[in-house]
Amino acid sequence: MPRKYPISRSKDHQFTVNDLITARSELAGEREKALKRISEIETSITQLDGALRLFGFDDFRSLAPIHRLKPVRITRIEGRARQAALWKFLQDHPEGKTTVEIADLLIEHFDLDRDNRHEMTATRNYIRKVLNRWQAEGSVEVCDYTGQSKRWKILSKLAPGRSGGN
């Protein structure tokens, strides 16, 4: 089947070829680094197996691998943006909001992944930490309990950490 449009090459294709060569070289370097790391892990596992055999343990098939989750980390700017949004949500709702309602608003506002349970738990924990800190400062208070959730409302009009003086 003949081509509809002929292949045309300009001198610019050399830049594309060089970029592809560079990308392949970088991936090959990453692969070598990963293989070296795998070799180091295999050596460590072999040494640990030998140590366990000294103590009479030899059922290594019963040992399941542990998959640890990386902690959810946010930058200082993201933290301040979340605190500002949290303060605004509480200002917009003088009757108060529960921790879960605030978390839902923040998740929606920052377009976080609702399917990632680890991130959702970290977000709720962060909100609780911030609200407890603000409660200690006297900026917010618990006005009610809804089930197991605290309902928070603002006490002062100034944002936390701000004083009325100059």
Q: pLDDT (tens digit, 9 = 90+) per residue, 60-118?
A: 888 888 888 777 788 889 889 989 999 999 999 888 888 888 888 888 888 888 888 88
Question: Tokens for 12?
Answer: 């610019």
Structural tokens at position 105: 């608003």
Within 10 A of 82 (CB to CB), how many other CB atoms are there? 18
- Give yes or no for a contact between 155 and 99, defined as CB atoms under 8 angstroms apart: no
Closest CA to 21 of 13, 11, 33: 13
What count of other Cβ atoms lies within 10 Å of the Cβ of residue 7? 5
User: What are the CA-CA distances from residue 67 to residues 35, 64, 70, 91, 134 (Å)?
Assistant: 20, 9, 10, 41, 35
Q: Tell me: pLDDT of 165 over 50.
A: no
Assign residue 13 a region: left if phi > 0, alpha if psi is -120 to 50, beta otherwise?
alpha
* Sign of the four-CA dihedral 87, 91, 97, 103: negative
Cβ–Cβ under 8 Å, residues 149 and 98:
yes
Q: What's the pLDDT band for 24 if we cut at 50, 70, 90?
A: very high
| pLDDT in the model for residue 166 | 41
| Longest CA span, the chain | 81
> Rounded CA gap, 25 and 2, in Å?
35
pLDDT of residue 12: 64
Cut 0.75: pTM above it: no
